[in-house]
Amino acid sequence: MSWNDIRLELLGPFELSSAGQRLSVPLGAQRLLAYLALQEDGAHRTAVAEQLWLDCTSARAAANLRSALCHARRIDSLGLINSVGQRLALTSSIRVDLHQVQDVARQVITGQRPLPTEADHLIAGLSRELLPGWTEEWLPMERERWGQMRVYALESLAQQFQSAGNYLPALQAALAAIAIDPFRETPHRIAIEVHISEGNVASALRRYQDYRAFLHRELRVAPSRQMAQLVQALMPT
């Protein structure tokens, strides 16, 4: 078995697989593997124990960490976690879906990645949540970072598809960004621009009016002047 056979999935339900076969992972080991996958440079043992078992004493947290490490080592004989001195890190050769999608997102945002002929897979990957259902206190900040990156990537993707005249994937990417952050104006504006480019005036107006009503209902604010000007010429007189 090679390292390339081992895959850790954090987008969606937690899953660890080897050569395509799902591995059974105890909860403590799941939390440890997920936490280390999110620490680019690894973490000190004490910090790991404190973050994963906040409600325990230092001694109990350290014991829980030892148990989780033991379970992780039993899962696969190759070893999933590197331990150097007091630092722990996920073995770098393990494929982590979050890392792979983040790399693609960075390329999309910087314009270094050519537009895919099939956008569905990329949009789906950027739409997936980080460990949904998990309530660990160390996750909200990681979710916020992932949320910001994927919204920017989806907006960039939508703009690039729109510029290329590929309106369906442009709209799909914009709608995926809206689903992540419905308050953010940029993807709504892109969706309106796509409708206008296609000549769908009614759809553009409806998108604007729905967004304006949503902002008023939730925040008592109005869309920006830039967005209002976008649809001003479309308004019935």
If asked whether residues 118 and 220 sit together in one domain, one would say: yes
For the chain, the average pLDDT equals: 91
- Residue 205 predicted with pLDDT over 60: yes
Is the CA virtual torsion 229, 147, 102, 211 positive or negative? negative
Mean pLDDT of 132-137: 94
- Of the two residues 64 and 113, the one the predictor is more confident about is 64
> Per-residue pLDDT tens for 6-30?
899 999 999 999 888 899 999 999 9
Give the residue numbers spanning the domain of 177. Answer: 97-232
pLDDT band at 117 (very low <50, low <70, confident <90, very high): confident
Residue 237 lies in a domain: no
Which of residues 93, 108, 136 is at a domain's end? 93
CA distance 118 to 211: 29
Strands (DSSP E) contained in the chain are 6-9, 15-18, 21-22, 43-44, 81-84, 87-90, 95-96
DSSP string, 189-207: HHHHHHHHHHT-HHHHHHH
Which residue type sits at 67? S
Q: Give pTM, 2 decimals.
A: 0.90
Say how many CA atoms lie within 13 Å of 13 toward its Cβ: 5
Residue 13 lies in a domain: yes
Residue 41 lies in a domain: yes
> Per-residue pLDDT tens for 156-185?
999 999 999 999 999 999 999 999 999 999
- Residue 235 predicted with pLDDT over 80: no
Mean pLDDT of 37-65: 93
